[in-house]
Chain A
Amino acid sequence: MTLRELVEALGLEILEAGNLDREVTQAYAADLLSDVLAHAAPGSLWITLQNHANVAAVAALKELAVLLVNGRRPDPDMLQRAREHKVTVLSSHLPAFDIAGRLYQAGLRGAQ
């Protein structure tokens, strides 16, 4: 599934487009950056409520797309850094567990 298809299927909001045509098959949910650096599979969709600049940096490093939960908005400096590194930033009004369930139903799987 492409990120664009996920956006349409789950009604996600696009805050920074990046490359929406790329395929995504895995997702990872965590709010500690060090955990994401250590354990998220490259190319995954990262489900988080963290919304500061280092989130975009970690996402750029691991080629992750970011999905903010609870309708959260990125800090301006996060958005700027996402733009610089072409990191996709999406947002859902749902909490992490709920959106993870829907992503699973849509065919995404975890790192294992």
Chain B
Amino acid sequence: MRVWRADLHLHTCLSPCAELTMAPRTIVARAALCGLDAIGIADHNSAANAPAVMRAARGSGVAVLPCMEVTSREEVHILAVFGELDAAFAMQEFVHRRLQGRNQPEIFGLQVLVNEEHDVLGFEPRLLAGATEWSLSEVVERIHRLGGLAIAAHADREAFGLLGHLGLLPAGLPLDGLELSPHTSEAEFRRRWPGYVGLPLLRFSDAHAPEQIGSVATGFRMRQVTLEELGMALRGREGRAVVTEAAGPWKN
């Protein structure tokens, strides 16, 4: 068992708010340079660019998990982490069933579908910046039903963060972890939310530009990078653990 460094919240050029330079090979090269063992491709309400990054990462030593940053009806962002593309695309189908609106690229930004060579395959027409009509509990339930992990994204942030936006952790919402905003340290978070106990605190970069990749990351003590091992680390089972303070933030 060892500590694997993971940054499970990266956007690609598919997210309207991300830079167009967030291309598969750029992301993988940057992740390898930062010494990351695992990355998560988490575009807003879509997993469509995850396969390209997974192909780009072959032989790089960087494990790529297909993820998604889902916007619930309450306008809270949930980071869904999956181990397999099938599950990620099943989640995408669920999300798109109740996602209204068409993107207007000149206002929200381009949503570029690419292959691993950064060739443009097309443009996603849905409004990925929009909110689904699924509630938080429906989103979390579906993630779990598909075998994924549900993490409250940048939970302390007022814009789209679970605690910042709703002001509380809804009772009975079975989340697997709480991600802090990249600039919020665990100590700062605990000062702001002094009564907080429970879910493991995670720090990922939420990178929208290449230089942000790996700027913060979280260590996971486990046997290998699999969804199952990550789940065990989040629950602190059988010697697996989340290693935040000791391991991060990493400077490049």
Contacts and interface: CB of A to CB of B under 8 A. Distances in A.
A33 B107 contact: no
Contacts, number: 30
Interface stretch (A3-11, A39-47, A53-61): A53-61
A25 to B, nearest CB: 24
Interface of chain A, helix or strand or loop or mixed? Answer: helix
Contact of B159 (A50, A57, A60, A85): A50
A32 B101 contact: no
Interface string B105-119: 001100000000000
Interface in B80-132: 100-101, 104, 107-108, 129-131
Contacts of A33: 75, 130-131
B101 A37 contact: yes
For the side of the interface on A, what is the size category? 10 to 19
Interface string B153-165: 0000001000000
A53 B17 contact: yes
A57 B129 contact: yes
A112 interface: no
Nearest to B108: A57
Contacts of B75: 32-34
Contact of B107 (A32, A38, A57, A75): A57
A43 to B, nearest CB: 16
A52 interface: yes
Interface residues of B, number: 13
Interface string A10-40: 0000000000000000000000111001100
Contact of A34 (B104, B107, B130, B159): B130
Interface in A61-83: 61, 75
Contacts of A54: 108, 129, 159
Given A32-B75, A33-B75, A50-B159, A61 B130 contact: no
Given A32-B75, A57-B107, A60-B107, A37 B159 contact: no
Nearest to B133: A34
Contacts of B101: 37
Interface of B: 17, 73-75, 100-101, 104, 107-108, 129-131, 159
16 contacts: A33-B131, A34-B75, A34-B130, A37-B100, A37-B101, A51-B159, A52-B159, A53-B17, A54-B129, A54-B159, A57-B107, A57-B129, A60-B107, A61-B107, A75-B159, A85-B107
Interface of A: 32-34, 37-38, 50-54, 57, 60-61, 75, 85
Given A33-B75, A61-B107, A75-B159, 7 more contacts: A32-B74, A33-B131, A34-B73, A37-B101, A54-B108, A54-B129, A61-B104
